[in-house]
């Protein structure tokens, strides 16, 4: 199962005796170098293992045919061998992200070979280290960026696809961190060039990437306006730093923005799409930046391009996965900054609910129906 491009790079330094000395300014350079979406990451798979006669089975929540979350099957499969350059990881938690809702239906940019497990990121403990692996040992707590394949008790992957977790980070936080914060940080810093004192509008502000954008916007010195579909979601966004909020089921987004940002917003962060994209674009300030992050609402909006002309604004695409593959050095810098912000207490991943592995389909369904606050994760016990 392929991994997501651009793993975080190693933010720790090891002493000669192997102890870890943590430094927020250090980056995960070694771990970042090889992440790609088109290379296989191996969970348990129905083939014979040659790994020292291991006879246990691995539980995997598999997609065996394109379909809804309810079609996922909990299967027992043999473990795979741990080869040179690889590590075996006992997973404790796996994050659930919007791409998981698409990939199981065959609607994502790539289609894994059947059967496969969804799950794009995870956290766990190394239980075996293959030959030619340096910098890791049995017992290390690590984050894995998998692209897919993380809804499993155990996986084997290249050591270049994992990275150490800060000591203060829980497994649930580790499984809910890099995808959302990495996306939002790249969007706001490199694509939106958000500056202190500017006004940032975040659509879908209580979702995973939306809530990350709220926190990062505040950390970057912006005034943040959250937009969401319920009062509960707005309160969640405000608890994470939003200065104001608009419930777009109670009033039009345009009217709310006229009240909160009469001069327009400088940056729009849009992971939602649908009917609110054009309203947000019409409310953008002169020389504003409209960030196209995703389409959680379903419909991909058609935008009148004359608005970009009239506003003198930019409509900017955000594809974090491609960014990590094409600009790995810059991605490493971003990860180092994110870890610094986490260790400073400025980023607080919200894991609102956990699901056992057998109920991973329910977790994806809740993501599809937009019933999620922050992040939800699947746990493996």
Task: Extract the tokens encoding 290.
Answer: 């409209």
Please tell me whether residue 370 adopts helix, strand or coil conformation: coil
Question: How many Cβ atoms are within 10 Å of 90's Cβ, its own excluded?
Answer: 14
pTM of the model: 0.82
- Pairing relationship of beta strands 141-145 and 154-158 according to DSSP bridges: unpaired
309 bridge partner residues: none
C-beta separation of 6 from 331 below 8 A = yes
Q: Rounded distance, CA 75 to CA 18, Å?
A: 37
Q: 151 near 61, Cβ under 8 Å?
A: yes
Residue 218 dihedral angles phi and psi, to the nearest 5°? -65, -40
Alpha-carbon Rg of the chain, whole angstroms? 21
The confidence score (pLDDT) of residue 8 equals 30
Contact in structure between 98 and 294 (CB atoms under 8 Å): yes
137, 18 contact by CB (below 8 A):
yes
For 168, other C-beta atoms within 10 Å of its C-beta total 10
Q: Taking a C-beta distance cutoff of 8 angstroms, is the pair 257, 246 a contact?
A: yes
> Yes or no: is domain 180-317 CATH 3.40.50.720?
yes
Over the chain (381 residues), what is each successive 10-residue block's mean pLDDT?
A: 30 26 34 40 47 71 96 94 94 94 90 93 96 94 89 91 89 95 97 98 95 98 97 96 96 95 97 93 97 89 93 96 89 88 94 96 92 93 75
Structure tokens, 362:
């329910």
Tokens of residue 280, six digits:
């947000």
DSSP for 152-219 reads BSEEEEEGGGEEEPPTT--HHHHTTTHHHHHHHHHIIIIIS---TT-EEEEETTTSHHHHHHHHHHHH
Query: For residue 174, which phi and psi values (nearest 5 degrees)?
Result: -60, -35
Residue whose entry in the numeric block shows the structure tokens 């909006």: 301
Predicted local distance difference test score (pLDDT) of residue 44:
52
Question: What is the pLDDT at residue 72?
Answer: 97
pLDDT at 288: 98
Two tokens at 354? 């956990």
State residue 317's pLDDT score.
97
- Cβ neighbors of 249 (< 8 A, separation 6 or more) are 229, 230
- On the question of a cis peptide bond just before residue 296, with omega within 30 degrees of 0, the verdict is no
CB atoms within 10 A of CB 265: 25
Burial of 36 (0-12, 13-18, 19+ CB in 10 A): middle
pLDDT of the residue at 279:
95
Cβ atoms of residues 155 and 41 within 8 Å = yes
For residue 29, the SS3 value is: helix
CA–CA distance, 96 with 101 (Å, rounded to integer): 9
Contact (CB, 8 A) for 159 and 133: yes
> What does the domain layout of the chain look like in residue ranges?
12-177+349-379, 180-317
Per-residue model confidence (pLDDT) at position 220: 97
C-alpha–C-alpha distance, residues 235 and 238, integer Å: 5
And the tokens for 291?
């960030």
> Superfamily assignment of 12-177+349-379 in CATH?
Medium-chain alcohol dehydrogenases, catalytic domain (3.90.180.10)
Q: Looking at residue 321, what is its pLDDT?
A: 86
Predicted pLDDT of residue 267: 98
């Amino acid at each position: 199962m392929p991994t997501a491009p651009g793993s975080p790079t190693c933010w720790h330094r090891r002493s000669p005796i192997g102890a870890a000395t943590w430094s927020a300014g250090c980056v995960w350079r070694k771990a970042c170098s090889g992440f790609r979406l088109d290379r296989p990451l191996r969970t348990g798979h129905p083939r014979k293992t040659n790994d020292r006669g291991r006879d246990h089975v691995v539980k995997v929540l598999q997609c065996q045919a394109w379909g809804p979350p309810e079609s996922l099957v909990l299967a027992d499969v043999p473990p795979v061998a741990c080869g040179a350059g690889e590590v075996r990881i006992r997973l404790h938690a796996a994050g659930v992200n919007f791409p998981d809702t698409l990939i199981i239906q065959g609607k994502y940019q790539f289609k894994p070979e059947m059967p496969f497990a969804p799950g794009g990121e995870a956290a766990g403990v190394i239980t075996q280290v293959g030959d030619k692996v340096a910098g890791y040992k049995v017992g290390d707590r690590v984050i894995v960026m998998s692209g897919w394949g993380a809804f499993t008790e155990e996986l084997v992957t290249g050591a270049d696809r994992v990275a150490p977790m800060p000591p203060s980070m829980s497994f649930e936080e580790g499984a809910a961190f890099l995808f959302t914060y990495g996306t939002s940080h790249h969007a706001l810093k490199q694509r939106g060039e958000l500056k202190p004192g500017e006004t940032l509008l975040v659509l879908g502000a209580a979702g995973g990437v939306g809530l990350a954008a709220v926190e990062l916007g505040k950390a970057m010195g912006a005034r943040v306006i959250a937009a969401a579909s319920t009062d509960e979601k707005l309160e969640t966004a405000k608890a994470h730093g939003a200065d104001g909020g608009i419930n777009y089921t109670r009033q039009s987004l345009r009217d709310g923005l006229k009240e909160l940002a009469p001069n327009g917003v400088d940056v729009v962060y849009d992971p939602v799409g649908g009917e609110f994209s054009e309203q947000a674009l019409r409310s953008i300030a002169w020389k504003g930046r409209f960030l196209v992050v995703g389409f959680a609402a379903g419909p991909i909006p058609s935008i009148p391009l004359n608005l970009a002309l009239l506003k003198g604004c930019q409509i900017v695409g955000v594809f974090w996965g491609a960014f990590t593959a094409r600009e790995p050095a810059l991605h490493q810098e971003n990860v180092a900054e994110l870890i610094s912000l986490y260790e400073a207490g400025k980023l607080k991943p919200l894991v609102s609910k956990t699901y056992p592995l057998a109920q991973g389909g329910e977790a994806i369904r809740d993501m599809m129906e937009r019933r999620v606050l922050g992040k939800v994760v699947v746990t493996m016990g």
